[in-house]
Amino acid sequence: MILDRRLRHHLTVWLGRWPANGPLDVVGSARRAEPGWDGRIHPAIGVRAPSGAVLSVPLDRADDVRELAKRANGSPDALLAELPAAVGFPGHGAYQAVFRWTLNPAPLPDAGSWISADDPVVPDWLRVFGGEVLVALDPETGAYLAGVGIKRHDAYGHELSVGTAPAARGRGLARRLVAQAARRVLDDGAVPTYQHSLSNVASAKVADAAGLYDKGWRSFGVTDEPAG
């Protein structure tokens, strides 16, 4: 598969290298010691494509994680349990997720408007994204129904996160908002990405409907919060 240059640039900047040189390529990156989009440290981030995986870790932990990868026979699944301690975050959790992107969002009608994340109508979970967020409001009451925030990892990759108020679910708002936000990201010169847990069927359906299909790619790494 020939990847769009924006996706290649995003993964190279975000992880420190792309594509992988083998089944599991451990890369030391200074970015793992720097605050991410949310101001927190994300000590290990990996992306696995059908051709191989890149795992980005702090520079001073790269050798230890490479030894761990050898013991795991190059399998990201096998090293996850020991990965938090190996990158200096014992007691933290590890995760796997579906990693999606699109260059052709579904041609669904727009469902919201871009407003400042500081607007009083924006719920707390959406405020943390900063800048502008995409929201759908009730046309009669002006109440929040659903919204999309953007994790601006770098100039080339912007990850979408969507949430819908319980009373507004089942109307197709999430898929329309994700497609609308994806078009905005592409217009801005970046590639829209989307991640969700392996068991989140609802989120998978939203992504499929919005044109962000599961191409067999996965993300994995260490959470920035304690396990449990």
Residues 17-34: pLDDT tens digits? 999 999 999 999 999 999
Return the sign of the alpha-carbon dihedral for residues 151, 218, 93, 169. positive
Please write the tens of the pLDDT for every residue from 180-201. 999 999 999 999 999 999 999 9
Distance CA 43, CA 83 (A): 10
- Residue 15's pLDDT is what? 98
Closest CA to 153 of 25, 22, 14: 14
Q: Between the CA of residue 17 and those of 23, 57, 144, what are the distances in Å?
A: 14, 11, 40
> Is 40 exposed, middle or buried, given 0-12, 13-18 or 19+ CB atoms closer than 10 A?
exposed
Beta strands in the chain (DSSP E): 24-28, 44-49, 52-57, 92-101, 113-116, 132-137, 144-152, 157-164, 191-197, 218-226
Average per-residue pLDDT in the chain? 95
- Residue 1's pLDDT is what? 43
- pTM for the model: 0.95
> Residue 74 — very low, low, confident or very high, per pLDDT cuts 50/70/90?
confident
pLDDT at 228 over 70: no
113-212 has which fold?
Aminopeptidase (3.40.630)
- What lies within 8 Å, CB to CB, of 9 at 6+ separation is 154, 155, 156, 157
Domain spans of the chain, in order of start: 5-100+219-226, 113-212
The mean per-residue pLDDT over the stretch 12-20 comes to 96
pLDDT at 97 over 80: yes
Distance CA 62, CA 69 (A): 10
pLDDT at 107 over 60: yes
Please write the tens of the pLDDT for every residue from 118-166. 999 999 999 999 999 999 999 999 999 999 999 999 999 999 999 999 9
- Residue 193's pLDDT is what? 98
